[in-house]
Amino acid sequence: MFILNRNVGSFICRNCSKRAFHTSPILTTFWERDDKGGYRDESKLPQLKDRLREGLKELKHEVGLWSEELKERFENDPILTYRPGEVDVQWQFGTEDSLKKWLVTSDSDNNEGFSKSSLTLTKEGKGLFSGNLDMRIPKDGRVKRAGYCNMKTLRVRKSFKREAHIDWTAYNMLVMRVRGDGRSYLLNIHAKGYYDLTWNDMYHYVLFTRGGPYWQVARIPFSKFYFGSKGRIQDRQVSVPLDRVASFGITAGERYGGDFHLEIDYIGVEFDPNHREEFAYEMYRTAKGIASV
């Protein structure tokens, strides 16, 4: 009898205690050490007096965020806010402050490759995600694959450093106006929850770009996004929990290297009343004990 180990994405034979497909060590628990998956910054924290000084500097900003939260609670009326067929822009570029909402990383930042990437503004004020995918594997005996670059929004938070989620339950469509280079990019919706089992829950779909001088508007239903964890598609698929979106990201990680560039005008969401699909992937029941997620 085989069971699926979710943490490593491989099958384990209970009777023979041997792995059928993978060579990574067997994990006997779902416990996660930290929410960064081993990539946490280990730099030392500043001294207490320095932290108090920085905290007092941020107090005015945090009080301002708190007052904005109170305004939004009284002003946000779903009937007036959400209109079918209209795009509600979530992220748009144009200023240097718009770039501060994103975190850009690549395999070289974690000493796992040689790729480079950046997020800048074009002359027209659009966001430009560009860089070079390098498929060379470091000769350290640890890394088996290389060649990825990623841009990701910072975690949404409320005042006084409280983590929050984006609520997209009123929408059913992701809308992006982009101009690509002919490559395909992976769109990622992170739905991190409270428990460690959900820290790596991610929903993916592919953005196909045309290349050339023309802009394209991509409209992707949320029902098309599939469920994965740590880069591995899960056996049991579920739809995106739109009420607890933690962040949104775009990954460049194709199997051939070279330069890439993706211009982004805006990223938004929309409610399309003509789209009635709830989930695109048919699920079926397997025999008890064959697979467990």
How does pLDDT run along the chain (293 residues), one tens digit per residue? 444 444 444 444 445 544 444 445 545 455 566 666 666 666 666 777 777 777 777 777 777 777 777 766 665 655 555 678 789 999 999 889 999 999 999 999 988 899 999 999 999 999 999 999 999 999 888 888 889 999 999 987 776 677 788 899 999 999 999 999 999 999 999 998 777 777 889 999 999 998 888 999 999 999 999 999 888 888 888 999 999 999 999 999 888 889 999 999 999 999 999 999 999 987 777 677 665 54
| Report field, pTM of the whole predicted structure over 0.85 | no
In a domain, 39, yes or no: no
Q: State the pLDDT at residue 168.
A: 93
As for how many domains the chain has, the answer is: 1
Q: Are 25 and 9 in contact (CB under 8 A)?
A: no
Sheet containing 102-106: order of strands? 102-106, 149-153, 247-252, 184-190, 201-208, 226-229, 232-233
| Residue 178 belongs to some domain of the structure | yes
Residue-level pLDDT at 36: 66
In a domain, 135, yes or no: yes
Query: 145 lies in which domain range?
Result: 87-270
CATH number at residue 124: 2.60.120.430
Residue-level pLDDT at 18: 47
Report if residue 252 sits inside a domain: yes
What local confidence, expressed as pLDDT, does residue 35 receive? Answer: 67
Rounded CA separation 118/176 (Å) = 19
* Rounded Cα–Cα distance for residues 256 and 245 (Å): 31
Q: Exposed, middle or buried by CB within 10 Å (0-12, 13-18, 19+), for 123? A: exposed
Question: CA–CA separation, 167 vs 269, rounded Å?
Answer: 11
Q: CA distances (Å), 25 to each of 7, 11, 167, 293, in order?
A: 10, 12, 38, 18
Query: Would 144 be classed as within a structural domain?
Result: yes
Domain contains 158: yes
